[in-house]
Amino acid sequence: MEDHILELLRLERTREPLSPGRRVREFQMELQRLKNGEEAEIKGFLLGRKPPNAPRDAAYYLLSPLSPSELARLGKDEFRTYLVIRATENTKIAGEVKPGSYVLVKGIIDAYPLGNLRMIHAGSIDGRDYSEYWKDYREFALSRREVLDLFERTVYLRDDMRNALIYALYGVPYMLGESWGEGFEFTAFKYRDDSGLLALWKALKYFHSNLPWELRLTRDKLIEVDDPFLGIDFRLTNPNWSDIRYYTPPTRRGLSRLPKWAARAVEEKRAIGLLPKNIDANPLDRMARISETPFVLVHSEEKPYFEENREFLQLMPNLLVTIFLQRERHLSLDREKAKMVEEEFLRWLRESREDYGDPFRALTAPSGPMNVGLRAKLGRRVFGSIIRFSGRATKRAAREVRLINEAIVNDWMVVLRDHPDEMIRLLREYQRYVPGDVRAQRALEILHDLASMSPRGEVTREGFINELVKAGFSREDALELTERFIATGYVYEPFPGKLRPIR
């Protein structure tokens, strides 16, 4: 009896998958409900081919409820449905409208003269954002807890790495004054043995291969679809022009060196890179600096892997609905919300210097993987991704960024122990930008930390002096140190009252 009750509870919790078949059935039911002569608004993907036996009195096209990749994946015997669009010189065209585009068609419903298809006399055809295709099914979105449970049952990684992977999938809100896009870099380097990294690659490749073509970053600009019933083939473009596109190297060669076209998109944050790097972890590696989460796969008893979970594949569309809905709710991140993660970051910097000493200072050198200015910027981006995942900006989200930073530092500390030459090089580089005097060094570190929080990399003179006083300096010493830094070239004033450290 107890087992029966538990099974019923499990079934109650099971989320209904959003399948292409459901979309097709709903589209067909919508067409059947409409009567000839009624005004209608219908969304779908423009196929850009004439239907069979099309009259010559206007331009005729087909509209599909399914995206290009879903059409291509349909089995030969699976149900399909289309709407015929009749367009004339009076039809208004707006936005991106070409074969493959997601469009909204407004017009009058009618019967197609030949066959049993329905037709719409199009008054307007409006190109819409691809994300709307997913947002139209809000009721299929997963909760935060459901997403976590799904990944915990499917992706076997360290908790911090699995969480970072989930955040990466949501992309990054746009930030004022930042040239980067919505992309995110989830990067992992090998440490000695490459078996763990190859296992991670297979896991990410499995995930990536099951994404819709529209959401995979590839060089393919077109997809070809054959319809077995109409006897028509379609060549369709990708309707998704957002930065929510994912890239994982398809071959082992890409694990050591990304192709230029993919590297450019990922480095400019115009795509989400899930990047196992089959190269030895090096703190001077450029990817280690610019990746939001540059992990190192240090030795562990359990290797990462991705379980071929049928539920995960079924709920992939639901996950995409969730991602695009959260993207809509958190499209940008303002400076006010970012303050809580910046304050947490400053506390973490001070405590880490006390706990780790010179090795941490080496990591925060300009060329190091934890460069303060760059890591502050990347930390804000991770914070934005967590907000998209959790739904709101909270102190808990700021602490989660800190935990990820701590995990990254712990990884690189292991690497530095095995590479003393790199640590010495980075420490010397760091020392070129700070004075030898301990008190002056501490004061200049505070200035660098404050500048890393500013979009322009500068702080007010008075703000800097006040922070020194809070840190235990007398106001006279703070004034004297400020003048000394300017005189010796550690700091300059771009204009009166503003300070910018030289790095």
At 216 the three-state DSSP class reads strand
The tens digit of pLDDT for each residue in 262-319 reads: 999 999 999 999 999 999 999 999 999 999 999 999 876 667 888 888 899 899 999 9
Mean pLDDT of the chain: 88
Query: What average pLDDT does range 166-188 have in this prediction?
Result: 93
Q: Of 247-251, 295-299, 324-328, 378-382, which gets the smallest average pLDDT?
A: 295-299
Q: How many CB atoms lie within 10 A of CB 137?
A: 18
- Please report, as a single letter, which amino acid is at residue 412: W
Q: Of 254-258, 326-330, 373-377, which gets the smallest average pLDDT?
A: 373-377
The answer to whether residue 1 scores a pLDDT higher than 60 is no
**Beta pairing, strands 118-127 & 102-111:** antiparallel
**Beta pairing, strands 59-64 & 459-460:** unpaired
pLDDT at 33: 93
- Please report, as a single letter, which amino acid is at residue 256: S
The answer to whether residue 75 scores a pLDDT higher than 80 is yes
At 74 the three-state DSSP class reads coil
Q: Which has the closest alpha carbon to 362: 349, 354, 373, 371?
A: 371
**Which phi-psi region, left, alpha or beta, contains residue 153 (left: φ > 0; alpha: ψ -120 to 50)?**
alpha
Q: In percent, how much of the chain has pLDDT > 90?
A: 56
Q: Which has the closest alpha carbon to 448: 285, 435, 338?
A: 435
Per-residue confidence band for 492, with pLDDT thresholds at 50, 70 and 90 = low
Query: What average pLDDT does range 63-80 have in this prediction?
Result: 91
pLDDT at 124: 96
pLDDT at 82: 92
> What is the biggest distance separating any 2 CA atoms in the chain, rounded to whole angstroms?
91
Decide if 169 contacts 180 (C-beta within 8 A): no
The answer to whether residue 143 scores a pLDDT higher than 90 is yes
The tens digit of pLDDT for each residue in 383-441 reads: 999 999 999 999 999 999 999 999 999 999 999 988 888 888 998 887 776 666 677 77
The answer to whether residue 80 scores a pLDDT higher than 70 is yes
Q: Which of 154-158, 303-307, 325-329, 353-357 has the highest mean pLDDT?
A: 325-329
Q: Which has the closest alpha carbon to 311: 429, 460, 210?
A: 210
pTM: 0.86
Measured CA to CA, the distance from residue 130 to residue 115 in angstroms comes to 30
The tens digit of pLDDT for each residue in 99-112 reads: 999 999 999 999 99
More confident residue, 217 or 354: 217
pLDDT at 193: 86
**Per-residue 3-state assignment (H helix, E strand, C coil) for 423-478:** HHHHHHHHHCCCCCCHHHHHHHHHHHHHHHCCCCCCEEHHHHHHHHHHCCCCHHHH
pLDDT at 14: 63
Cα 353 to its chain centre, rounded Å, is: 31
pLDDT at 10: 43
Domains, the chain, in order of start with CATH, read: 20-128 (2.40.50.320), 139-335+371-378+390-397 (no CATH), 433-501 (1.10.10.10)
Measured CA to CA, the distance from residue 32 to residue 348 in angstroms comes to 61
Strand spans (E) along 231-357: 232-237, 246-247, 272-280, 293-297, 305-306, 332-333
Decide if 41 contacts 105 (C-beta within 8 A): yes
Query: Which residues, 6 or more positions from 466, have their beta carbon under 8 angstroms from its beta carbon?
Result: none
The answer to whether residue 167 scores a pLDDT higher than 80 is yes
Measured CA to CA, the distance from residue 188 to residue 166 in angstroms comes to 15
Query: What average pLDDT does range 467-491 have in this prediction?
Result: 76
The tens digit of pLDDT for each residue in 14-53 reads: 678 998 899 999 999 999 999 999 999 999 999 988 888 8
Q: Which has the closest alpha carbon to 106: 133, 85, 131?
A: 85
The answer to whether residue 7 scores a pLDDT higher than 80 is no
